Amino acid sequence: MVISSKIVMCENIPSVFAVEAMTCLQAIQLGLNLGFSMVKIEEDA
């Protein structure tokens, strides 16, 4: 089940690692805001 999906275009992020870290942080914050005790983060590769 997909709860949320988001696309953001950013030009000033120094590395792929930084992008993935920001994405994980946003997913965890969304889960906390929705009151979830666990969040499963999947990558589209």
pLDDT for 45: 62
Determine contact, residues 27/41, Cβ cutoff 8 Å: yes
User: What local confidence, expressed as pLDDT, does residue 38 receive?
Assistant: 86
Residue 23's pLDDT is what? 85
By the 8 A CB rule, do 41 and 24 touch? yes
Which tens digits make up the pLDDT trace of 1-45?
A: 777 788 888 788 888 888 888 888 988 898 899 999 888 888 776
Handedness of CA 15, 22, 12, 6 (dihedral sign): positive
Contact (CB, 8 A) for 10 and 19: yes
Return the pLDDT at 11: 82
> What pTM did the predictor assign?
0.69
Give the pLDDT score at 35.
93
